[in-house]
Amino acid sequence: MKKINIFLAVIASLLVFAACTDRRDNDIDIKKQNVYVKYKLEVGSALASLYDIEITYCSISGKEYTEDFKLRRTGNKWEYKEEAASDANIHFKFVATARLKEKYELEDEEYNLSRTFSVNWYEQATKAMSFSPVDQQVENLIVSKAEIEEYLQKNPVITIVNIVERPNLKD
């Protein structure tokens, strides 16, 4: 009986010792979330076929790139996203300009010239932010065959988006 009591006392001591270990051993290391910036542009099928679209944008570090809409496009959507493990402030630049092609064919009954864009970002000092102003979006712009020539003459160059600094968001 004495051996059982000693055995139980040893087990109880071990359990108490294990329960009293330093709580810091159980803390979870929380990894800082990476900063990111994402530029997105979507255009109607006619705008993509009748115009050459050039996009200029900045990486997080501020390096500027210029490319044709076709290079990073999926369908009629173009997107650039960069993520970095950094506390640095994001540099912003997202400019898209459409220039009417010299040669084009007009055979359709309707032409979709819609365009929308958005800028999304996250920095350590802010929550995730999004900028997609409704007043700068041109959604559901469908031009008929009878009106397309006049539209193209009036709009040989279209500035789709022109963001050259951090978007100013109102709370």
SS3 letters for 82-138? EEECCCCCCCCCEEEEEEECCCCCCCCCEEECCEEEEEEEECCCCCCEEECCHHHCE
Q: What is the pLDDT along the chain (171 residues), one digit of tens a residue?
A: 555 656 555 565 655 555 555 555 556 655 567 889 999 999 999 999 999 999 999 998 899 999 998 877 778 999 999 998 877 778 899 999 999 999 999 999 999 999 999 999 988 767 788 999 998 999 999 999 999 999 999 999 999 999 999 887 765
Q: What is the pLDDT of residue 3?
A: 57
Q: How far is CA 137 from CA 23, 60, 152, in A?
A: 53, 25, 19
Q: What is the pLDDT of residue 6?
A: 61
Paired residues of 130 in beta bridges: 120
Q: Which amino acid is at 148?
A: I
- Specify the pTM: 0.76
Q: Confirm whether 28 is domain-assigned.
A: no
Residue ranges making up the domain that contains 49: 35-163
Q: Confirm whether 27 is domain-assigned.
A: no
Q: Confirm whether 75 is domain-assigned.
A: yes
Q: How many domains does the chain have?
A: 1
Q: Confirm whether 14 is domain-assigned.
A: no
Q: Confirm whether 155 is domain-assigned.
A: yes
Whether 120 and 58 have beta carbons less than 8 Å apart is answered as no
Q: Confirm whether 51 is domain-assigned.
A: yes
Q: Confirm whether 8 is domain-assigned.
A: no
Phi, psi of 54 (to 5 degrees): -110, 135
